[in-house]
Amino acid sequence: MSLSPASLQALADDTAFCDALLARSQHLREQLDARMEQVLVDQLDGLAAAFKPSQVEVEVDEATRARLFEIVARQWAHVGEQMPHFSVLSHEDWRPEQLTAERLADFYETGRGELVLLRRLLSQVGLGLPCKARCVELGCGVGRVTVHLAPQFGEVEGLDVSPGNLAECERALAARDIRNVRLTRLQAPPDIQQLAPYDLLFSRMVLQHNPPPIQHYLLRELLARLRPGGIVVFQLVTGGPSYGYLAAQHLQKHATTDFEIHALPMPAALALLRASGCALLDVFRDTAGGFNVSSYTFLAQKL
Ligand SMILES: C[S@@+](CC[C@H](N)C(=O)[O-])C[C@H]1O[C@@H](n2cnc3c(N)ncnc32)[C@H](O)[C@@H]1O
């Protein structure tokens, strides 16, 4: 006897009937279990195949690194010149033509959430903010977070590539009479080697705008300058559907007036933490890189 697809569906929808049938037939139950197992294996395999960390080039020679950094610097110089606040948070209210004094104040208030996040992350692992400490903020932008970090630390060094954003950051600090922040413009990868030792790194929505070899290099150099006991909180995009990266291809074809989103695969990030003597204390998935990519915030401490 053969049943029509509609009848089969009706039977399948009748869970009581299906349960009774399966209870009576061991053979049927085994067939179903095997099929379900295969479905799960196929699904997981599909997920893993969608992104291959091995197809992301994370290390390049010095000359290539310099050229890749130049691309990032040019992109952020452009958007920092045209629309600094909007380049940091893409909401219509922050476009230059919409930015009233009231909206500007609202914009800077959004940065308070990052300080709340930092405090909560630390308190969840039994740590507090090291108040007299030296904090480094990679990609301080227009100072949205910097103005909230500054009162919590002995000193803050804000690093950025965008002259326009740094100028806005300086204005925001002056308007609040904040004097313990030093701003540094990174113009080439080796500039990071001038960074003095520090106690806490904070960086969200920054590394993701850099090609993987730049993210890898900056993280390695930043972690090398973290003092023992020091803390890092940074966010990365670790992958996305069909993301792959080859520096040679990127050098040939890249955006010139807008920023890009790139990934640093999780295995590479974890290896960097391990190699620098940092213990991973927490990691959580976030939406800082958008909704269609894997983005994570890491909390780690140097041993
Ligand atoms: C989306 S904004 C975020 C700014 C800030 N973190 C915030 O949350 O308000 C990214 C900032 O990172 C800066 N940036 C991008 N790549 C950088 C790099 N390699 N080194 C330093 N700053 C960088 C950009 O110029 C821009 O100001």
Q: What is the pLDDT of residues 38-58, one digit of tens each?
A: 655 555 555 555 567 779 999
pLDDT bin (cut points 50, 70, 90) of residue 25 is confident
Query: 46 with 104, same domain?
Result: no
pLDDT tens per residue across span 200-235: 999 999 999 999 999 999 999 999 999 999 999 999
Query: 128 with 144, same domain?
Result: yes
Query: 160 with 289, same domain?
Result: yes
Q: Tell me how many domains the chain contains.
A: 2
Ligand 1 closest atom vs CA 72: 16
CATH classification of the domain holding 236 = 3.40.50.150
pLDDT bin (cut points 50, 70, 90) of residue 131 is confident
- Surface-to-core class of residue 2, CB atoms within 10 Å of its CB (0-12 exposed, 13-18 middle, 19+ buried): exposed
Residue 181: enclosing H or E segment and its boundaries? strand 181-185
How many whole angstroms separate alpha carbon 110 and alpha carbon 145?
8
- Quote the tokens at residue 286: 């976030």
In this prediction, what percent of the chain has a pLDDT beyond 70?
87
Query: 100 with 189, same domain?
Result: yes
Query: 39 with 178, same domain?
Result: no
Q: Which residue has a Cα nearest atom 26 of ligand 1?
A: 141
Query: 212 with 268, same domain?
Result: yes
pLDDT tens per residue across span 244-265: 999 999 999 999 999 999 999 9
The string of DSSP codes covering 79-135 is HHHH-HHHHHS--GGGSGGG--HHHHHHHHHTTHHHHHHHHHHHHHTT----TTSEE
| pLDDT score, position 24 | 75
Cα angle, residue 192 at apex, residues 187 and 193 outer, rounded to 5°: 125
Span 106-118, mean pLDDT?
98
Q: Is 209 in the pocket of ligand 1 (CB under 6 A)?
A: yes
Query: 65 with 19, same domain?
Result: no
Query: 110 with 136, same domain?
Result: yes
Query: 285 with 224, same domain?
Result: yes
| pLDDT score, position 20 | 74
Q: Distance, CA 161 to ligand 1 centroid (Å)? A: 7
Query: 155 with 285, same domain?
Result: yes
Query: 117 with 245, same domain?
Result: yes
User: Best of 69, 76, 79 to mutate for ligand 1, by most ligand atoms within 8 A of CB?
Assistant: 76
Of 89, 69, 58, 300, which is closest to residue 201 (Cα–Cα)? 300
User: Best of 78, 209, 259 to mutate for ligand 1, by most ligand atoms within 8 A of CB?
Assistant: 209
DSSP 264: -
Give how far Cα 52 sits from Cα of 57, 84, 244, 248, 296, Å: 11, 34, 7, 18, 17
Of 134, 155, 158, 154, which is closest to residue 146 (Cα–Cα)? 158
Residue 261 makes CB contacts below 8 A (sequence gap 6+) with 208, 209, 237, 240, 289, 290, 293
Query: 22 with 168, same domain?
Result: no
Determine the structural domain holding residue 180 and report its residue range. Answer: 53-302
Q: Is 205 in the pocket of ligand 1 (CB under 6 A)?
A: yes
